[in-house]
């Protein structure tokens, strides 16, 4: 029986393996060559071809045995052998992708067997060659399945198990599939792409930043149907009268009725009250009272333009809230007041009173100070402003954040800020005052401690 030495991977084979691992490219074993060449002390790693090749055969199977061992199989026969010979050398050839075919490994016989011609004795052998390759489980090996060779049931079961429950190699970024890469890498890329697609479909926050102009809505009237003027609606045929009355007359009559109602000292006014002139009284110390009856009511005092102010001096304007859970918003460019901003602070009105820990007070040090420009229509279009961002403050000092009950971030992003009279989340700057006082106290204690060490 023939005896062969341990297979030796050639220098070209080692380079091919390193390149395959580095580029994640498959090595394709192309053929098994047998020959009759004899060797007497040659350095086998430098061999690039068999000395006396006789026949070549297809690779029928490649199996990764473990992390460092690879098994290559072939079916060797003498169907086309006309003259017998001794098999003294066997070479394994392969290539990277469409690269040049090279001798990957070679083994030589210590005791050669005679391989007869077909007419003398038909012979078919199953040849198995084991290669020791470090980390071969991380390299993809392929071979061209030859015609006339059939897979065993064991082969089919192993293949079914391999692909019925595929494993993945996690990938960090979206990447295109590459011909010849390992199937575990390909599955990993597909997994990443499918997850990215699902996340994108579920993203309702305008991920592509599409504007109204891009979808043809740049000139569309965003006024609700209930607020549109019938007079200017083209679908109404530009009608100028309703029940025989001109709109100008209807408007004058409605204003006169409103003026009479507003002069009453009692009663209830529902809906919106729009005043185009100044609200005034006959004296210099008039007091306007706005009382909220229900806790979910809101009172909005808003100037008619970006350059108008709401001026509050002394008790010229009083806003009385009947229930503490109601909201009172004053929207304008600036608020001028001659008195003070006062918070309820009587101890008897509070409970669960305790000393605030230094750790919480030091949260003020985590507040990021940003520089930014206001988008058109916000913040009086100011540029290069130094301030804070409510999204960041909410994570650090949440009690300093005021979020309207009807706030909807998705609606804001969809309308690109065109939210009408709705208010935006904001920061109550006065909430920072206790933190700043606390930090002063902490710093003062640390200074006194340092003085005491001298």
The string of pLDDT tens digits covering residues 43-100 is 999 999 999 999 999 999 888 888 889 999 999 999 999 999 999 999 999 999 888 9
pLDDT score at 321: 44
**Residue 286 pLDDT greater than 50, yes or no:** no
Query: To the nearest whole number, what is the mean pLDDT of the chain?
Result: 78
Do 95 and 156 meet the contact criterion of CB atoms below 8 Å apart?
no
pLDDT over 80 at 384, yes or no: yes
pLDDT > 90? residue 307: no
Q: Is the pLDDT of residue 396 over 80?
A: yes
**Tokens describing residue 238:** 């530009």
What is the pLDDT confidence band of residue 146, given thresholds at 50, 70 and 90?
low
Written as one string, the DSSP assignment of 338-386 is SS-------GGG--S--PPPHHHHGGGGGPPPEEE-PPTTSGGG--SEE
Q: Where in the chain is the domain with CATH 1.10.10?
A: 352-453
Share of residues in the chain with pLDDT > 70 (%): 70
**Is the confidence at residue 137, as pLDDT, over 90?**
no
- Kindly report the CATH class assigned to 352-453: mainly alpha
Residue 129's nearest CA partner among 93, 154, 158, 183 is 93
Q: Which residues face 386 on adjacent strands? A: 371
Indicate if the pLDDT at residue 408 is higher than 80.
Answer: yes
Residue 333 CA to residue 427 CA, distance in Å, equals: 16
* pLDDT band of 380, cuts 50, 70, 90: confident
């Amino acid at each position: 029986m023939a005896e062969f030495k341990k297979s030796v991977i050639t220098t070209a084979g080692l380079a091919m393996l390193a390149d395959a691992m580095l580029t994640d490219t498959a090595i394709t074993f192309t053929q098994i060559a047998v020959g009759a060449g004899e060797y007497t002390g040659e350095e086998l790693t430098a061999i690039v071809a068999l000395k006396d090749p006789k026949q070549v055969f297809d690779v029928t199977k490649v199996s990764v045995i473990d992390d460092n061992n690879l098994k290559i199989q072939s079916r060797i026969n003498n169907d086309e052998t006309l003259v017998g010979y001794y098999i003294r050398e066997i070479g394994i050839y392969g290539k990277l992708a469409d690269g040049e075919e090279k001798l990957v490994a070679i083994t030589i016989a210590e005791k050669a067997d005679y391989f007869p011609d077909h007419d003398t004795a038909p012979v078919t052998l199953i040849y198995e060659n084991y290669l020791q390759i470090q980390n071969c489980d991380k390299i993809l090996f392929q071979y061209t399945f030859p015609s006339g060779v059939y897979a065993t049931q064991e082969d089919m079961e192993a293949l079914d198990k391999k692909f019925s429950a595929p494993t993945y190699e996690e990938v960090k970024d979206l990447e295109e599939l590459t011909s010849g890469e390992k199937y575990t890498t390909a599955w990993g890329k597909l997994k990443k792409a499918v997850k990215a697609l699902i996340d994108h479909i579920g993203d309702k926050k305008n991920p592509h930043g599409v504007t109204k102009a891009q979808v043809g809505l740049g000139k569309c009237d965003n006024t609700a149907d209930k607020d549109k003027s019938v007079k200017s609606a083209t679908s109404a045929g530009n009608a100028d009268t309703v029940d025989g009355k001109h709109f100008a007359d209807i408007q004058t009559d409605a204003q006169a009725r409103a003026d009479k109602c507003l002069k009453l000292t009692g009663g209830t006014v529902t809906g919106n009250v729009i005043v185009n002139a100044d609200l005034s009284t006959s004296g210099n110390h008039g007091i306007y009272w706005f009382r909220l009856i229900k806790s979910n009511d809101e009172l909005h005092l808003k100037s008619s333009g970006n350059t108008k102010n709401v001026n509050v001096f002394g008790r010229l304007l009083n806003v009385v809230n009947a229930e503490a859970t109601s909201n009172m918003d004053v929207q304008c460019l600036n608020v001028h007041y001659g008195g003070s901003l006062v918070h309820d602070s009587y101890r008897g009105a509070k409970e669960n009173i305790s000393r605030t820990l230094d750790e919480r007070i030091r949260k003020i040090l985590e507040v990021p100070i940003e520089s930014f420009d206001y988008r058109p229509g916000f913040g009086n279009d100011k540029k290069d402003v130094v301030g804070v961002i409510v999204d960041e403050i909410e994570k650090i000092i949440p009690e300093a954040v005021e979020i309207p009950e009807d706030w909807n971030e998705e609606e804001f992003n969809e309308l690109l800020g065109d939210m009408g009279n709705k208010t935006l989340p904001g920061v109550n700057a006065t909430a920072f005052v206790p933190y700043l006082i606390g930090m002063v106290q902490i710093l003062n204690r640390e200074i006194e401690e340092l003085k005491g060490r001298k």
